[in-house]
Structure 1
């Protein structure tokens, strides 16, 4: 597996940044290559992506979610293997550091080449920059889910290595 880690500071309070991130169906607005995210229930989403001409469909399961602190997930279906965590660190009352760490298994020559050249790191960095612009320009979050999901609430709780 390969690992990518990126962070960005956003000019909004931690609650606003976290609440917006829980609106998974809006991810295509700021995530390059994400065509659709459909939330199936509190813990599961179905994703459709197209990266470098390669289409993927897969399901994710949230394995740990603590409001204003973190959301961790893993894939549970489809042809993509990944797990990750996004964390929210208040810097002060009006600023938050959003950090994303993701383990993934590159499939095929295109993804392996992209992994070796750092393409995924650039994509994630760009997604975080677009999230920053999205949440700062909105003035407020479009919604938020404040529920708690604990490791063990799902089949297996895992987070990326080093997290």
Structure 2
């Protein structure tokens, strides 16, 4: 299992960033590969994702961890799980940290793409890109 941690500072209050994380229908605007997303109750998101040149339906379970502004998620395929943690830096700035856990071999089997170091690099670049898009949405 590999773990990737990235963080970014957003010029927006923590409440704004927290609300953006819960706008499931807007996931395609900041999560690469997500074509369509719909909330299903408070704890699930139905995602239509594109990978390996094909579209797939994915169920994501979302879990909020109290008032600490932490949201965890896990998909039923491709095999990914992670956590978003938001920390207010002051009234108008928030640190967003994402932790992603994945098995490179299972991910390769599910979505194709490169192997080894090249795959890890591709995952890192995708997460950084998604964080930049999330930042832009929060700051608009």
Whether TM exceeds 0.5 here: the answer is: yes
Quote the offset at 1:120 in angstroms: 1.0
| In structure 2, distance between residues paired with 1:16 and 1:46 | 23
Query: Which has the larger helix fraction?
Result: 2
Give the 3-state SS of the residue equivalent to 1:113 in structure 2. coil
Count residues in correspondence: 135
Quote the offset at 1:66 in angstroms: 2.8
Quote the offset at 1:128 in angstroms: 0.6
| In structure 1, distance between residues paired with 2:48 and 2:115 | 19
> Which ranges of structure 1 fall in alignment gaps of 5 or more residues?
138-163
TM-score, normalisation: structure 2: 0.84
Match in the other structure for 2:86: 88
Give the 3-state SS of the residue equivalent to 1:12 in structure 2. coil
| In structure 2, distance between residues paired with 1:136 and 1:10 | 7
Match in the other structure for 2:62: 62
Quote the offset at 1:72 in angstroms: 0.6
| In structure 2, distance between residues paired with 1:109 and 1:68 | 33
Match in the other structure for 2:122: 119
TM-score, normalisation: structure 1: 0.73
Give the 3-state SS of the residue equivalent to 2:12 in structure 1. coil
1:72-87 alignment runs, 5 A limit:
72-75=72-75, 77=76, 79-87=77-85
Identify the range of structure 1 (107-116 vs 65-74) with the bigger mean alpha-carbon deviation.
107-116
| In structure 1, distance between residues paired with 2:4 and 2:81 | 11
Match in the other structure for 1:103: 101
